[in-house]
Amino acid sequence: MATIKPFKAIRPTKDKVAFVASKSYEEYDMEERNAILAYNPFSFLHIINPGFKFHKTISGKERFKLVHNRYLEFLEENIFIQDENPCFYLYQIENDDFKSLGFFCATSVDDYTADIIKKHEDTLRSREELFADYLNTVGFNAEPVLMTYKNNPEIAQLLYQQINNSPEYDFTTTDRVRHQVWKVVESDVIHQIQEIFEASEALYIADGHHRSASSFLLREELKARNPSHTGNEAYNFFMSYLIPESEVRIYEFNRMVKDLNGFSKEGFLIQLDTYYRIEEKDDGIYKPSKKHHFSMYLDGRFYSLYLRKKVYDFTDALSTLDTQILYKTILEPILGISDLRNDSRIAYGYGKYNLLKMKDTIDNGEFAVGFSLVPITIDEVKAVADEGLVMPPKSTYIEPKLRSGLSIYKL
């Protein structure tokens, strides 16, 4: 059912790939980003931050045009090349405790509209339109949508046969992550992979809902303007990175709230007692260990919150998510937070040491209370998507995080 296609990637030359590849723009702090821009002329950051060349912050349509110009310069200076034949591109990411192997391909806008490509997040129309305008102006797609597929031994065998060959790229970044890329050029292997996906039930978006929605808007716009539209044009597809679901890691986002919505500490605990069995903890940092069980930090103490299941209704896949339970039992009815995306009273955190960071920010008075959850599973993500439901914002932090600039899809 799922249509995937090889494509002629625009990508860095071998000698420059380690300099070109970058993390996403938001992952750098300003000092690190400016240092890279100042001392690495090959960084992909120069394309997405074209104003640096002019010592000026540039936004909107003017920025989009300059992004296109910087992209053309990378082509003209042979920092980028384009493959002559359509390929799939295997990309393996490896560090001390994590390895994942997936591949870049072109996925179908028609599959997105037909719900063969399944979603689990809401998108904002304004962001969809902005990114569609960006894609139309710059003429390329450099940020793949991360999608998962059901583990398949045939696909695994085909991919692992390919990585016995010498990689096209093999480099390690300063965060000690190894990146390897292989080109799949053999037409028989490409056809085998396509046939397996044609028989698959669905693909699931893990990260990139706005990018997918924007590609649909762009297709509709360009289709309307093209009297000779055939359905085979590049704009009918968008670049994705497909990975087996077993090689995706999902981490939790903690929630921190700035005040108790007018309640005293004691009054707040009494309110919680309706839905939770509350236990105060004495032994330092406390992390939840199972579903429907939360860790709360309040006034210098950790508490465990055990959901009273007899007073909470499990009605569908969404209602069983811990992020939804927390929202429906605490954040909205007690703390008065109905808009999880835009309310300035709530903040989110993730990362290896985030529980400690949450404690520190509350101890420092920046927030009044914090909640820690166990991660959502890939099966829960799929169940929500299969039922056509939408998760609360910041329900999942997903890895792998791909380096930008390794593969570009020309529109």
**pLDDT, tens digit (0-9, with 9 covering 90-100), for 256-290:** 999 999 999 999 999 999 999 999 998 788 999 89
Q: How high is the pLDDT of residue 8?
A: 98
Longest dimension (CA), the chain: 71
| Count of Cβ atoms closer than 10 Å to residue 277 Cβ | 12
Chain-centroid distance of CA 214 in Å reads: 15
- pLDDT > 90? residue 184: yes
Q: Are 168 and 88 contacting, i.e. CB atoms less than 8 angstroms apart? A: no
HSE-up of residue 271 (Cα within 13 Å, Cβ side): 17
Q: Confidence band (pLDDT; 50, 70, 90) for 13?
A: very high
Both structure tokens of 246? 């077993």
**pLDDT, tens digit (0-9, with 9 covering 90-100), for 138-153:** 999 999 999 999 999 9
Chain-centroid distance of CA 159 in Å reads: 23
Q: How high is the pLDDT of residue 312?
A: 93
- pLDDT > 90? residue 82: yes
Q: How high is the pLDDT of residue 295?
A: 96
**pLDDT, tens digit (0-9, with 9 covering 90-100), for 324-371:** 999 999 999 999 999 998 899 999 998 777 899 999 999 999 999 999
CA neighbor of 145 nearest in space, from 171, 182, 120: 120
Q: What is the mean pLDDT of residues 56-66?
A: 91
Q: How high is the pLDDT of residue 111?
A: 97
Q: How high is the pLDDT of residue 275?
A: 96
Residues 6+ apart with CB under 8 A from 246: 151
- pLDDT > 80? residue 124: yes
Q: For the chain, give the secondary structure using H, E and C.
A: CCCEECECCEEECCCCHHHHCECCHHHCCHHHHHHHHHHCCCCCHHHHCHHHHHCCCCCHHHHHHHHHHHHHHHHHCCCEEECCCCEEEEEEEEECCEEEEEEEEEEEHHHHHCCCEECCCCCCHHHHHHHHHHHHHHCEECCCEEEEECCCHHHHHHHHHHCCCCCCEEEECCCCCEEEEEEECCHHHHHHHHHHHHCCCCEEEEECHHHHHHHHHHHHHHHHHCCCCCCCCHHHEEEEEEEEHHHCEEECCEEEECCCCCCCHHHHHHHHCCCEEEEEECCCCCCCCCCCEEEEEECCEEEEEEECHHHCCCCCCHHHCHHHHHHHHHHCCCCCCCCCCCCCCEEEECCCCHHHHHHHHHHCCCCCEEEECCCCCHHHHHHHHHCCCCCCCCCCEEECCCCECCCEEEC
Per DSSP bridges, beta strands 178-184 and 4-5 are unpaired
Q: Are 6 and 89 contacting, i.e. CB atoms less than 8 angstroms apart? A: no
Q: What is the mean pLDDT of residues 181-205?
A: 96
Q: How high is the pLDDT of residue 55?
A: 86
- State the average pLDDT for the chain: 94
Q: Confidence band (pLDDT; 50, 70, 90) for 103?
A: very high
| Cα–Cα distance for residue pair 283/363, rounded to 1 Å | 17
Q: How high is the pLDDT of residue 361?
A: 95
- pLDDT > 90? residue 98: no
Q: What percent of the chain has pLDDT over 70?
A: 100
Q: Confidence band (pLDDT; 50, 70, 90) for 86?
A: very high
**pLDDT, tens digit (0-9, with 9 covering 90-100), for 206-236:** 999 999 999 999 999 999 999 999 999 999 9
